[in-house]
Amino acid sequence: MTDTSTLTRGGGGPSSPGRRRSGRPAKAGGLPVWSIPYVLLIPGLLVIGALLLYPMVQVAIIAFQKVGLPQISGRKPAEWIGTENFTRIFDNEIFWTALRNTVVFAVLTVTLTLVVGTAVGVLLNKLGKKMSTLVIVGIMFAWAVPPVAQGVIWKWLFDAEAGIINWALNLLPNWLSTLLFGRSDWTGEPWLNDAWSIYLVLIITVVWASFPFIAVSVLAGLKGIPSELYEAARVDGASAWRTFRKITLPLLRPVFAVLTVLSIIWDFKVFSQLYVLMGGPANREAFNLSMYSYAEAFRPPPKMGSGAAIALVLTVILLVVTAVYVRQLVKQEDM
């Protein structure tokens, strides 16, 4: 980290070589020292304020307004309608389906991702150097694929006619396939028509793309555990499972806390992959809250008000989860 060559390059400095002072310069470009951090923060604060905080306040306002085409084009001012947007979405069955889809998907996907990711992380820690490098490079590829391309890839794998999944299922012996699924011929099985099978594919897609991050994080955490602890456990004759539960898990708890909340945040608002898999907001039964909000606000006729109301519900759910996250952070250290 300490690169002396850069120091010598910058060392003399072009500015007033004769003026030697001890301690820090009192002024920078004529600014009093106390004001420097505030000046440095101005652009960042402006961006965060204008593009994140103010819009967040606006969502909360729009959720109580009627904002359709006339309002968007500026022909009419937004109309204040109280809680009408909320009563309308709460009366709508699609909202409850979307809420259920969002929560069930998040719970299943977060659990699966964490379990698979942790298992692979532990595996990587046990593998030899060459083998673990190979596996890490492999999972890096899955991790790097952009969400839209993830959707495209898995849509192709699960394609009804030429998809490789149906081909593979046809390979199963007929009796086994019939026993397990009640059918033996899978050719032409359309996976992306029904809500439940769309979500099956979506779960596989998201788990495939997100377990690598968990695995590599867990591996980094495992490398930080002193090996003496494991030796002691071995001397005491503890089983592998017991060692994992009594040593690995407690020591990795802070890592897991962060990974869990990050995964929840990512999986609650999944959009790109779902958008590709079902081909736009086509199947109402398969909406989640993000998709429902998008469809309400941007499908003609645009209903920005109820879209904002749905977005607000999603945000509140996420902020509750976030509160847990921030508490965890604050507990771990004082910033």
Judged by CB under 8 A, the chain residues 83 through 112 that form the site for other proteins are none
Q: What track of x and - describes contact with other proteins for positions 192 through 221 (by CB under 8 A)?
A: ----------------x---xx--xx--x-
* β-bridge partners, 28: 31
Residue 306 has φ and ψ, to the nearest 5°, of -75, -30
Q: Which of 92, 195, 265, 285 binds other proteins (CB under 8 A)?
A: 265
Q: Which of 169, 255, 286, 295 binds other proteins (CB under 8 A)?
A: 255
Examine residue 329 and tell whether it contacts other proteins (CB under 8 A). yes
How far the first Cα of the chain sits from its last, in Å, is 24
| Residue 230 beta carbon to other proteins: minimum distance, rounded to whole angstroms | 16
Rounded CA-CA distance 196/178 in Å is 20
Which residue, among 264, 255, 231, has the nearest Cα to 121 in the 3D structure? Answer: 255
Q: Which of 37, 82, 182, 224 binds other proteins (CB under 8 A)?
A: 37
Name 278's Cβ contacts closer than 8 Å, sequence gap at least 6: 192, 198, 286
Examine residue 298 and tell whether it contacts other proteins (CB under 8 A). yes
Q: Closer CB to other proteins, residue 76 or residue 179?
A: 76
SS3 state at 247: helix
**Element holding 108 (H helix, E strand):** helix 93-126
Which residue, among 246, 233, 244, 258, has the nearest Cα to 125 in the 3D structure? Answer: 244
Site for other proteins in 42-71 (CB under 8 A): 43-45, 47-48, 50-56, 58-59, 62, 67
Which residue, among 107, 109, 123, has the nearest Cα to 244 in the 3D structure? Answer: 123
Site for other proteins in 101-160 (CB under 8 A): 120, 123-124, 126-128, 131-132, 134-135, 138-149, 152-154, 156-157, 159
Examine residue 274 and tell whether it contacts other proteins (CB under 8 A). no
Please say whether the beta carbons of 271 and 291 come within 8 A.
Answer: yes
Only one of the segments 104-112, 174-182, 227-235, 264-272 lies at the binding site for other proteins (rule: CB under 8 A); that segment is 264-272
Q: Closer CB to other proteins, residue 25 or residue 82?
A: 25
| Residue 4 beta carbon to other proteins: minimum distance, rounded to whole angstroms | 9
Q: Closer CB to other proteins, residue 176 or residue 220?
A: 220
Please say whether the beta carbons of 177 and 169 come within 8 A.
Answer: yes
Examine residue 28 and tell whether it contacts other proteins (CB under 8 A). yes
Examine residue 190 and tell whether it contacts other proteins (CB under 8 A). no
CA distances from residue 244 to 120, 159, 225, 248 in whole angstroms, order as listed: 14, 40, 12, 5
| Residue 317 beta carbon to other proteins: minimum distance, rounded to whole angstroms | 9
Q: Closer CB to other proteins, residue 16 or residue 227?
A: 16
